Amino acid sequence: MRLIRGDCLEIMPTLDADSIDSIVTDPPYGLSFMGKDWDHGVPGEAFWCEALRVAKPGAHLLAFGGTRTFHRLAVAIEDAGWEIRDTLGWLYGSGFPKSLDVSKAIDKAAGVEREVLSFRKQRANSAASGVPMNASAGEMEPITAPATPDAERWQGWGTALKPAWEPVILARKPLAGTVAANVLAHGTGALNIDGCRIGTETVRINTFDDGAKPFGNGAGHPYTGRASTGRWPANLIHDGSDEVTALFPKTIGGVRPARRNVSIFGAGNGTNDGTRIDYDSGSAARYFYCAKASKADRDEGNHHPTVKPTALMRYLCRLITPPGGVILDPFCGSGSTGKAATLEGFEFIGIDTDADYLAIAEARIAAVTRQEALALA
């Protein structure tokens, strides 16, 4: 594990070319988030050019972005020479809209005081979602009535939607030859599908009995599709909160009847393939990865305002990094990627300009290392 203080544009040139197996990072969104200097702009092409140089051929990059600015992030990454492979959506069930109350703003501009009707407790936002904690959470907030006709007309109008998802750009450095050749030569270029399957149920791909077989599986040669544990990972991730799972449709359990054997080119031989499929009920959210946010991430003395859940970062690290690989985070902040990488058995290089955040990152990663050492003792 290496934590380096400095500007990543100055530090990355000191790293060897073609030495990094993957890059997992949460760079600035360019939203002037909470007035922080480090969030003044989206990292431009120069950052991703240097990241491309240090990455191995076929290495993957995962970079979080803001919903308002990730288009600039994607363009900068692509212009640097990376291939955009996909965009993941991370859904979370916390966060509160930073919306201007238009009615209140009208009364304030008119210099009119509003009548206080009642009070309610301030609601806290979860920093695990990338939304800042409300410093006044738990305090009483006045509920007021419009004081002017114009304010009454615009009561209930605001300026923002509730934050509920963040995009994650998935890109890959161009391959050296074919995927197969690149994987054998550099260990990079592919995604860890089986290592990131969703759920624990056994999924049967297909079953055929004797008779007409697709793609030339001749008669008299039964073919049974392989069974896999868990479903193919999707480009949608959620945090498992009640708020998110309520958005997904419900499925009804039961048993599907045996199916007739059908060729992909039309009706098969009309025989019954004997397959009966039991399927359960529940929210369709179970088909997508669920990264539960942990309160422990906040209890580690971590006051960084945009902490990502460790479970989420472990999943992302595992998805794109070969066993024993080196992960780079050029904007490592308080070390969420580093902690996740350590827990997954990867090497890690983290770069950040803020000494306080690097100290938190070092403590978080060291704590994980000590826990693993005790477990092996």
Based on the fold, state whether residues 138 and 278 are members of the same structural domain: no
Q: Which of 163, 132, 136, 128 is nearest to 39 (CA)?
A: 132
Highest mean pLDDT among 15-19, 194-198, 330-334: 15-19
Residues 85-125: pLDDT tens digits? 999 999 988 767 889 999 999 999 999 999 999 998 765 44
With respect to residue 158, please indicate whether it lies within any of the assigned structural domains.
no
Based on the fold, state whether residues 218 and 276 are members of the same structural domain: yes
CA-to-CA distance for 163 and 94, rounded, in angstroms? 8
* Overall domain count for the chain: 3
Is pLDDT above 50 for 268? no
Q: Could you say which of 240, 267, 283 is where a domain stops?
A: 283
Based on the fold, state whether residues 333 and 218 are members of the same structural domain: no
The answer to whether residues 199 and 233 touch, using CB atoms and an 8 Å cutoff, is no
CA-to-CA distance for 42 and 32, rounded, in angstroms? 10
Q: Region 274-291: what's the mean pLDDT?
A: 64
Based on the fold, state whether residues 174 and 205 are members of the same structural domain: no
The 3-state DSSP class for residue 33 equals helix
Based on the fold, state whether residues 302 and 324 are members of the same structural domain: yes
Based on the fold, state whether residues 70 and 219 are members of the same structural domain: no
With respect to residue 236, please indicate whether it lies within any of the assigned structural domains.
no
Place of tokens 């008299």: 220
Q: Which of 238, 321, 351, 319 is nearest to 285 (CA)?
A: 238
Is pLDDT above 50 for 222? no
Based on the fold, state whether residues 67 and 181 are members of the same structural domain: yes
pLDDT for the residue numbered 308 = 85
In this structure, of 149-163, 242-256, 335-349, the range with the lowest mean pLDDT score is 242-256
Residues 201-220: pLDDT tens digits? 665 544 434 343 333 333 44
- The boundaries of the domain holding residue 204 are 200-231+249-283
The answer to whether residues 9 and 50 touch, using CB atoms and an 8 Å cutoff, is yes
With respect to residue 319, please indicate whether it lies within any of the assigned structural domains.
yes
Based on the fold, state whether residues 13 and 71 are members of the same structural domain: yes
CA separation (Å) from 332 to 96, 159, 329, 340? 25, 32, 5, 12
Based on the fold, state whether residues 359 and 277 are members of the same structural domain: no
With respect to residue 237, please indicate whether it lies within any of the assigned structural domains.
no
